[in-house]
Structure 1
Amino acid sequence: MLEKWTLFKKASRFGVIPVMLIPVVLGTAGAYVWQGVFHPFLFVITFIGAAAAHLFSNMVNDLWDFRNGTDTEAQHTPGAISTNSGFLSGGVMRESLFALLTWGLLAVAAGCGLLLSLYIGWEILWFVAGGALIAYFYVAPPLRFGYRGKGYSELAIFLAFGLMPVLGAYFVQTGAFSLKPVLLSLPGGLLTTLLLFNHHFLHWRADRQAGKRTLVVVWGERRALIFSQVLLYISYASLIVCVLLHILPIYALLALLTAIAPIRIYRSLRPENPSEAYLPLMGASQRASVRCGAVMTAALLIQGLF
């Protein structure tokens, strides 16, 4: 049983799940602080549904990148670093079983959404349907907007890992929409978008060979690296805006410290770098996204308690 759980965690890339769950907690904290409401049962269902949706997104990406030949190309391109689980491209798991697990996760997410709709209204199903469509058509035909290189994939990531989980979690608790959770979603959502953008540096040459036109492929490494740095600064500028608008307390500015590590790594990079040079940037980007969201959440909860 333990071995199966270990395999599942590797196949679904379970380790990156905090980038989805922290926005859910953040939106819930906002509802508690601003509206004084907290429904534990609804929070647990939202948490489980969001986790399943994120793991579905990871696995369906692997499934279609394998079918599209992108993962195979990454294995055969010198210097490219593959970011998929390797379960399909490495022959670890049959495609049929991998697909069964993938759609099983979607069923769990959809079931949680249906259960929530019985308690708070059908509007929550917009979040469920929107998240599922973004996850699936990110790499699946005929849309495959993650392959088009026009910023569609970056917008999709921001919606799926920023706006939708924060606003959706807030709506689950309050039954209402508000501008506050929208603004609250900006720092974490943009940092997660940055994380997904930066991972393209690891295999952009293989993506180009496979016809996957990410912005790194379209712009080239030099221009994409400049954009990556600009996106980092915009992310933290949005945190300052949230404090200035009293959406977050002033001590939430401690989250600015999480920018130090990625800034240091940017300064060590050249306009053109081998793929492995971006591995530290990937790690720093993920930690910045998670830690910034965690500090924002803690700041909100402290404000609510005192």
Structure 2
Amino acid sequence: MNKWQEFRQASRMHFVPLMAICVIQGTLAAWVWNEQFSLWIALVTMIGSCAAHIFSMMINDLWDYRSGADQAAYESDEAISTDSGYLTSGKWDERTFELVTWAMLGIALACAVLLYFVSGWGVLLLGGLGCFLALFYVVPPIRYGYAGKGTSEFAHVLSFGVFPVMGSYYVQTGHFDIRLWLLSLPMGLLTTLTFFNHHFLHWKTDRQVGKRTLVVMWGERKSFRFSVFLLILALLSIALCAVARVIPVYAVIVLLAALPLCRMYTKMKPSHRNLQTHQQLLWLSLRTSLQFGALIIVAQLVSRWIGT
């Protein structure tokens, strides 16, 4: 295995397209609504945003490893670990993993500084808030991701929806638009749903090591109902975007992409829910999120081409 393949696995790069989709949506909004587009700004924005996303996942893995949460999941028959496995298996030593993690933050900050000189104060505002949320999700003394009060879910909506969509639009135009709040909701909510569903795979071992997620605080049954609620909110946000003409009305066809996920939820009766079905739900949530995002991008492009 070459170094690039190792990095892809250690960074869990299969989740990065969630961030890339948000950046593309915000960039396309600037082009469609304002006819403003700079390729090099878009590339720097994409690199910085994806580096920040990788940093957030790797710093999460690093502190979960240090807290014992990931090791507990690996050693338990009642959990499936969702980390990269590069620390718990010893593929990378802690020092190497830490250096790569902070390097990702360095790349993100370098891109933010460059974009600040090009576009203005909004870059520092959104970038600073994003870095704060990524760092202190698991890092002491704040560790808001372990609070068990919905703070992590709210942060996911912001970090993987609102901030990248608004930021990628801002660097192209130099201003914000109220419509961006609506445009960011579908991906923000679907990404939050995906990350929320991964907690079902190791909530019992999370509880043992003091990791307080909503699933730990509420238990599996109540948390599963909340997962359904998140999906409903995401679907309603698509309809809201279409009604508000943030996306073209015909873009509601993207709702069809949610049918497999909806069927999965209806099949997961209490007696049929286990680690394997929750694992299937996680990956189906990720696939649905990517499909939604890609279809919204197609709708944005079509609206640009046909002028509606």
Deviations 1:208-263 (CA, angstroms, capped at 9, x unpaired): 11111111111111111011011101101011011001111012111101111111
Q: Which string of whole-angstrom CA distances, capped at 9 and with x for unpartnered residues, describes residues 157-177 of structure 1?
A: 111000000000110111001
Deviations 1:41-86 (A, max 9, x none): 1101001101111111111110010111111111122220000001
Does the 8 Å contact 1:27/1:168 carry over to 2?
Answer: yes
Question: Which residue does 2:137 correspond to in 1?
Answer: 138
- Within a 5 Å distance, the mapping from 1:112-261 to structure 2 comes to 112-261=111-260
Q: Deviations over 1:177-218 (max 9, x none)?
A: 111111100011000000000000011111111111111111
Which residue identity is paired with 1:283?
Answer: W
TM-superposed deviation, 1:22: 0.1
CA-to-aligned-CA distance 1:99-120 (integer Å, 9 cap, x gap)? 0000001000000000101111
Equivalence for 2:81: 82
Separation in 2, partners of 1:147, 1:262: 27
**Cα distance between partner residues in 1 of 2:209 and 2:253:** 42
* Counterpart residue number, 2:31: 32
- Note the alpha carbon deviations across 1:103-153, whole angstroms, 9 max, x for none: 001000000000101111132012221111111111111111111110000
Match of residue 55 from structure 1: 54
Counterpart of 1:295? 295
Deviations 1:7-59 (A, max 9, x none): 11110011111100000000011111111111111101001101111111111
Root-mean-square deviation over aligned CA pairs: 1.0
Deviates more, 1:112-121 or 1:73-82: 73-82
Name the SS for the 2:121 alignment partner: coil
Normalization by structure 2: what TM-score?
Answer: 0.97
Query: Which secondary structure does the structure 2 equivalent of 1:17 belong to?
Result: helix
SS at 2:2 equivalent: helix
Is the 1:221–1:271 contact (alpha carbons within 8 Å) kept by the matching residues of 2? no
* Aligned counterparts of 2:3 and 2:66: Cα–Cα separation in 1: 24
* Structure 2 residue runs without a partner (length 5+): none
Moved over 6 A (4+): none
Q: Distance in 2 between matches of 1:221 and 1:248?
A: 35
- Cross-structure match for 1:277: 277
Q: Any conservation in 1 of the 2:81–2:202 contact (CA below 8 Å)?
A: yes
Give the match's secondary structure for 1:123. Answer: helix
Q: Distance in 2 between matches of 1:111 and 1:122?
A: 15
Q: Distance in 2 between matches of 1:56 and 1:19?
A: 14
Whether the 8 Å CA contact 2:22–2:161 is kept in 1: the answer is: yes
Give the counterpart letter for 1:267 in structure 2: T
Q: Count how many residue pairs are aligned between Structure 1 and Structure 2.
A: 305
What percent of counterpart residues are identical? 46
